[in-house]
Amino acid sequence: MASDACRETLTQTSVQRQIDEEITCSICGKLFNDPKTIPCLHTFCKSCLQGSIESNKKMAVDVSCPLCRVPLLRDEIASIPTNRTIKLLIEILQKKKNDMQMLSECDNCCIRRHNNTNNRSTVLTAKPIEEVTEVAREVSGTANSASFWCVQCEICLCEKCFDAHSQWGEFAKHECVAIEELARNPKSVLSASVALKLKELEMCMHHSKLLDFYCKTCRCLICHYCATKDHRDHDFEDKLTKVVDEERLVVKNVTAPLQELLERVRRAVKKLQDTEKQIEVEGEANVEKIRATYDEVHKLLRRHEEEAIDKANVIKESYKKRIAAQKDDAKVLENDLATCDEFCTKIMEVDKKRLLLTYGDWVKNRVVRLKSEVDRTSLDPEFNAVDIVVRCPEPVEFINNLGSEAFDVPCLQNCILSRYAARKPAVPRSHVTAFGNFLPAKTKIDTTDQIKATVILRDRFGFPVTDQSGNLKVYCNNRDEGFLQDLVITEQSDGEYHIWYNPKTRENHSLQVYWKEHLVNCKDIKVLMTVRNYTQFRLQPAKIIDKYGSSNMHLLEPSLLAKGPNNEVIVYNHTTTQLVVFDKQFQYSHVIGGAGDGNGKFRCITGIAVDRNGYLYTADYILHYIQKFKLSGDFISQFGGGGTSGDNMRSPLSLVVSQSEQLFVCDSDKHIIKVFQLDKFAYSFGQHGTEPGSFNRPQDLALNNSEDQLFITDRGNNRVQVFTPKGKFLRFFDTFPGVVFRLKTPFGIHYAPDGHLLVICKDNNCVLVLKDDGTFVQAIESRQGKRFSDLYGVMVMDDGQTVIADKSNNRLAVF
């Protein structure tokens, strides 16, 4: 029993602690004073919240929640509601606390003393219980000790007052509880109160009579007096059993599906539990399988280690024997030479004339023979330290050659086409198609028009496959069509190989890389041989895209464009704040996002880009961060919106992603370019100014196909600047000799697959086609039909079609 009482005390203490935490302000640490609940559902005192908001405004930072930093809008601040539940809870707890403090004194004695003090009499029931309690709190001095608590009156009584209270006819039926019982079992009063309330529910609140009639018109229980007065014209029933049977039947019919629904939910819960158990079992089995696999690998490694050590010891002992034999031969020669030298020294003395004449010839012959023997004997050690080092394999080489044959095949981690046969060959005019948009297939091209592909090979452990250019072979389309001619493969760095070759036709094709006669990861490198003829862009667009979806919704201010890994077209619909996705035939697929401030929502997108893995990146000018999605629209993460000074962005604009997953971002208001690697800030370059290498509101950027040059539209300085991806300034161009067009407010920029640079000239509502060295080629205008208005984005598809976002005309123009 003692342990049960102790456990109940601890439970009550824990509950009280939780209640105290719920009614305490996290800023001032006191009970809430006028509690206010903000949209993130955190509650603070009104004065504390106002102080926090004012401090944020003084520091010129966005107003946000003091706990979770969720931003608050101005209209949300102006209409923050009072949390009436917490306010009522505080009032109830304070009232109960005061009432419990008064349990030691008789309330009736206190009231009588108060009445005697004011020379007036008061009947005990003349005032409400609340007023009686308030009067009792104001009485000073001592009173008789309270022994009983009246549940109905909610007052404390001493023994004398309890006797009088029990004999009074109106109070004789009240239920009273001893104070000692109340201290031992506080729930007894609650049980009595609940029983009293249930009993009161059966009585008419107006006439204190039993509710034995049912008014069908008002659908409520009434007493006899109610039936003859207020409800005399209503349809009522005096037999409750009949009404109850009818109501029971209705409720039964309505609640009939509950059991079926309950069973469905229970089956679903059981299925989820079974699935959870299956996941646990399968997961553990997978872990055990991994452990067993790596145990086998460890055994294999140990065996190879022992074999390598044994082999190294054999080599060591072999060399030691050879060196020992050389050492013995050298010792013999050393003794012979020392003896001969000592004898020569003796016969050369002055008093040894006869010995010199006698043995002179012998000494000379002996020296000649010894010299010949020294020359003939190998005295240099027959060992090179490199020999024993190269016999020990490097870790990467060892892993590459470990296990089965399939284990050896590396994966093609990356493939980059640095050029799409950008040089246009000399072709007779009769060979050009009607609109001149494409060159015919299988047209002979110049031998100088080389294609370069860059591949990075990694083994299954992620190590670079190095020194393998001799084992690499590249085929065109497949092995049946033959090995590429004039093929040059060079390794630029660990595992990175450059492949150069001269294509024989202008036809699109693919490359397959083989390593030691194994197809590398079954991935093809697609080579697009299309070259555009930009002289026909003054004609009417070949296709207009202005609607999407099954309900033919209109594109409203399309601005930004991006290309997916399978030539999907992603368009930012500015008015609806959504991304609309089309397939490569411009058939509607789905939309991504919508207006809002949470994850996966947008306020004002100013840049979109897609990496080689199909992940979509968006830059939000108002929310100041970048979001990452799957192309299906599933939100993944956000970054760049805070943290270090380098990470935080003020106004991100356009984006471009390299094949090595480097994300380049224009931070326009800061006049710099920021670079992220795998969603983490890496470095930045640039500064505000007009000199070369500086920026005045950089707007857009593009990478060339070999990704060694970064083109940036410097909008405020009316020029295009060229940098290396590391931020080294190369050159800029703003005018074109002999051409009236001038770069004025350059906006969007795109590097086409065929090596041309397309730049939107905002003020002239045209797209300038340039070579990557800045040479002017053509200006794309719309002179037939509707003219361009407020151009934003431009993009060239892999099949050569050029897409232009004509924002104010609410359309995509396809040439």
Identify whether residues 547 and 445 lie together within a single domain: no
3-state secondary structure (DSSP) of residue 599: coil
- Of the three residues 527, 543, 567, the one that is the final residue of a domain is 527
Q: Which amino acid is at 267?
A: R
At 64 the pLDDT is 79
- Of the three residues 53, 71, 103, the one that is the final residue of a domain is 103
Identify whether residues 568 and 538 lie together within a single domain: yes
> In this model, does residue 696 exceed pLDDT 70?
yes
Q: Is residue 207 part of a domain?
A: no
Of the segments 493-497, 666-670, 760-764, which one has the largest average pLDDT value? 666-670
CATH of the domain at 650: 2.120.10.30
Tally DSSP H helices, then E strands, for the chain.
16, 41
Q: Is residue 10 part of a domain?
A: no
Mean pLDDT for the chain overall: 75
Q: Name which of 661, 617, 653, 652 is nearest 635 in CA terms.
A: 617
DSSP string, 540-580: --SEEE-EETTTTEEP-SEEEEEE-TTS-EEEEETTTTEEE
Go through 389-426 and write b for each residue having 16 or more CB atoms within 10 A of its CB, e for each that does not.
Answer: eeeeeeebeebbebeeeeebbbbbbbbbbbbbbeeeee
pLDDT of 303-321, one tens digit each? Answer: 777 877 777 777 778 778 8
Report how far residue 608's alpha carbon sits from residue 792's, in angstroms, rounded to the nearest whole number.
13
3-state secondary structure (DSSP) of residue 303: helix
Phi and psi at 228, nearest 5°, equal -90, -15
Distances (CA, A) of 249 to 90, 151, 323: 44, 38, 110
**Is residue 199 packed enough to be buried (19+ CB in 10 Å), middle (13-18) or exposed (0-12)?**
exposed
Identify whether residues 667 and 615 lie together within a single domain: yes
Contact 616, 628 (CB under 8 A): yes
Banded model confidence at residue 535, pLDDT cuts 50, 70, 90:
low
Report how far residue 717's alpha carbon sits from residue 738's, in angstroms, rounded to the nearest whole number.
21
> In this model, does residue 158 exceed pLDDT 50?
yes
pLDDT of 328-337, one tens digit each? Answer: 888 888 888 8
At 411 the pLDDT is 65
Task: Tell me the average pLDDT across 211-226.
Answer: 82
- Of the three residues 50, 80, 103, the one that is the final residue of a domain is 103
Banded model confidence at residue 17, pLDDT cuts 50, 70, 90:
low
> In this model, does residue 420 exceed pLDDT 70?
no
Give the 3-state DSSP-derived string for 712-732, with helices as H, strands as E and coil as C: EEEHHHCEEEEECCCCCEEEE
Identify whether residues 489 and 573 lie together within a single domain: no
Q: Is residue 4 part of a domain?
A: no
Q: Is residue 486 part of a domain?
A: yes
**Total domain count for the chain?**
6
Task: Tell me the average pLDDT across 450-455.
Answer: 75
DSSP string, 479-502: GGG-BPSS-EEEEEETTEEEEEE-
* 65-73: long-range pairs with CB below 8 Å, 24+: 65/38, 65/40, 66/26, 66/27, 66/42, 67/26, 67/40, 67/42, 68/40, 68/42, 70/39, 70/40, 71/597, 72/38, 72/39
Identify whether residues 613 and 755 lie together within a single domain: yes
At 616 the pLDDT is 93
10 Å Cβ neighbour count for 456?
Answer: 21
Identify whether residues 756 and 637 lie together within a single domain: yes
Q: Is residue 684 part of a domain?
A: yes
Banded model confidence at residue 69, pLDDT cuts 50, 70, 90:
confident
Structural domain boundaries, residue 53? 19-103
Identify whether residues 111 and 38 lie together within a single domain: no
Handedness of CA 713, 714, 716, 717 (dihedral sign): negative
Which residue bears the tokens 């029990």?
Answer: 166
At 191 the pLDDT is 52
Identify whether residues 558 and 678 lie together within a single domain: yes
> In this model, does residue 469 exceed pLDDT 60?
yes
Contact 788, 782 (CB under 8 A): yes
Identify whether residues 623 and 745 lie together within a single domain: yes
Distances (CA, A) of 283 to 277, 279, 657: 10, 6, 36
At 303 the pLDDT is 78
Q: Which two structure tokens, joined as six digits, stand for 150?
A: 């009246």
pLDDT of 238-288, one tens digit each? Answer: 777 788 888 888 888 888 888 888 888 888 889 888 888 888 888 888 888
Banded model confidence at residue 777, pLDDT cuts 50, 70, 90:
confident
Q: Is residue 397 part of a domain?
A: no
> In this model, does residue 712 exceed pLDDT 80?
yes
Instruction: Find the range with the poorest average confidence among 174-183, 418-427, 670-679.
Output: 418-427
Contact 741, 769 (CB under 8 A): no
Identify whether residues 439 and 380 lie together within a single domain: no
Q: Which two structure tokens, joined as six digits, stand for 162?
A: 């309890």
At 518 the pLDDT is 77
Report percent pLDDT > 90 for the chain.
9
At 416 the pLDDT is 54
> In this model, does residue 554 exceed pLDDT 80?
yes
pLDDT of 733-742, one tens digit each? Answer: 888 877 777 7
More confident residue, 356 or 7: 356
Q: Is residue 665 part of a domain?
A: yes
Task: Tell me the average pLDDT across 57-78.
Answer: 71
Helix extents (H) in 588-684 = none
Identify whether residues 274 and 382 lie together within a single domain: yes
Task: Tell me the average pLDDT across 121-134.
Answer: 41
Which residue bears the tokens 């872990």?
Answer: 287
Contact 157, 165 (CB under 8 A): yes
Task: Tell me the average pLDDT across 28-44.
Answer: 83
CATH of the domain at 446: 2.60.40.10
Contact 627, 635 (CB under 8 A): yes
At 425 the pLDDT is 38
Q: Is residue 8 part of a domain?
A: no
582 strand-pairing partners: 569, 588
Go through 666-704 and write b for each residue having 16 or more CB atoms within 10 A of its CB, e for each that does not.
Answer: bbbebbbbbbbeebebeebbbeeeeeeebbebbbbbbbb
Q: pTM for the whole thing?
A: 0.46
Instruction: Find the range with the poorest average confidence among 26-30, 155-159, 695-699, 739-743.
Output: 739-743
More confident residue, 796 or 457: 796
Identify whether residues 281 and 377 lie together within a single domain: yes
Contact 725, 710 (CB under 8 A): yes
Report how far residue 665's alpha carbon sits from residue 699's, in angstroms, rounded to the nearest whole number.
10
**Parallel, antiparallel, or unpaired for β 472-476 and 488-493?**
unpaired
CATH of the domain at 34: 3.30.40.10
